[in-house]
Amino acid sequence: MTAVTQPPPAPRPAGPTLTVRPQQLRRRRRRKQSVMRWVVIAVVMAFFVIPLLSMLYFSVRFPLSGKWTGQAWSDIIHLGSLAANDPANYGQLWDGLRNSGILVLLTVLIMVVLLVPTMTWIRLRVRWLSRVMEFICLLPLTIPAIVLVVGLGPVYRIVSNMLSTNAIWLCFVYVVLVLPFAYRALDAGLGAIDVVTLSEAARSLGASWVTVMWRVVLPNIRSAVVSACFISIALVLGEFTIAELLARNNLQTGIFLVSQSDGQLAVTMSLVALLVAFVLLLVLSLFSGGRRSREGA
């Protein structure tokens, strides 16, 4: 019998080819991912930016003559005096702008005053009600505006008799409309802190319930409140259907009316409203960052 001995396998060359190849692959993959990322960003940005640029283009150029002009922007700046001089064409837009401004303030105020203490109280004392609260708050999301208006018609006839036909009373229905969005934002904020322990700690230190809300709960859900406010502002500034169907005048109905006589001003006004909302978002998100984030970890 002969013993067969096989030579030991030759050591694999630890040359550069073996280590370089995966590196090249990795680099190529990274480059590919980077390109894809920029493509996605470009497409998304195009989706948002192209309409805005088109609006900007339309606002500074006469459609027929093709001449560049800043007239519409100048009119926006002097909208008050323009409305006073030509109330038939611009009065509705001016009124609508003013009404929407007041509606924003009232809606946000009522929403915060109504929702924040209620949701906090439910978390503190009646947790079993949270499902009911969630259901009620999300309900407006499932009801189309047109259906809402059918129900709101008789209600607003009473409101008109008791208060007035002023558009600012739309704030009540707007509070209902913003409930689903505000609820979600506030619920996330309250869920992120231990409301029960914090409020019990504050109470044990001598704080009244008002102090607990004002000094402990609100500062800790500030970003959630700000988010809820922003969503509410955006919704109120963009609401058209209910105001139109209830024959009330707000910014969107004003823009609609003015668009029939001065399309350029209407588009410029829409763009301004969008920019205001955008700037507001920036300001609020900076504000909501608060002290803690500035201090850093």
Partner 1 sequence: MTIRTEPVGPPDLRAKRGVPVELRSLRRSFGDVHALDDMDLSIAPGELVVLLGPSGCGKTTALRVLAGLEDADSGQILVDGRDVSGVPTSRRDMGMVFQAYSLFPHMTARENVAFGLRLRGKGSAERRRIAGEYLELVGLSAQADRFAHQMSGGQQQRVALARALAIRPQVLLLDEPLSALDAKVRVQLRDEIRRIQLEVGITTLFVTHDQEEALAVADRVGVMWQGRIEQIASPQEMYSRPASAFVAEFIGLSTPLPGTSSGAAATVLGSRMPLLPGSPESGPVTVLIRPEAIRLAPADPADDPAVAATVLATSFLGAHGRAQARLADGTVLTAQMSSAEVSALAVGERVTVRLEPVPSLAIPPRAGTGSAGGTQAGPAATGRAGS
219-238 binders of partner 1 (CB under 8 A): 219-220, 222
Angle at 223 between CA 222 and CA 225, to 5 degrees: 65
10-39 binders of partner 1 (CB under 8 A): none
Task: Rule CB under 8 A: choose which of 55, 110, 203, 213 binds partner 1.
Answer: 203
d(CA 111, CA 182): 8
Residue 68 pairs with which residues in a beta bridge?
A: 61
Looking at 80-88, 136-144, 203-211, 250-258, which segment touches partner 1 (CB under 8 A)?
A: 203-211
Buried residues in 197-217 as b, exposed as e (16+ CB within 10 A): eebeebeeeebeeeebbeebb
Closer Cβ to partner 1, 221 or 266, answer by number = 221
d(CA 22, CA 242): 61
Report if residue 193 touches partner 1, rule: CB under 8 A: yes
d(CA 100, CA 81): 19
Task: Rule CB under 8 A: choose which of 5, 65, 204, 260 binds partner 1.
Answer: 204
Task: Rule CB under 8 A: choose which of 2, 5, 6, 197 binds partner 1.
Answer: 197
Do you know the residue count of the chain?
297
| Amino acid symbol at 285 | S
Task: Rule CB under 8 A: choose which of 60, 138, 149, 207 binds partner 1.
Answer: 207
Looking at 84-92, 161-169, 212-220, 251-259, which segment touches partner 1 (CB under 8 A)?
A: 212-220
Tokens of 237: 């500034």
d(CA 111, CA 174): 9
Task: Rule CB under 8 A: choose which of 50, 113, 141, 201 binds partner 1.
Answer: 201
Report if residue 121 touches partner 1, rule: CB under 8 A: no
Residue 186 pairs with which residues in a beta bridge?
A: none
Residues that bind partner 1 (CB under 8 A): 193-194, 197-198, 200-208, 211, 215-216, 219-220, 222, 290-292, 295, 297
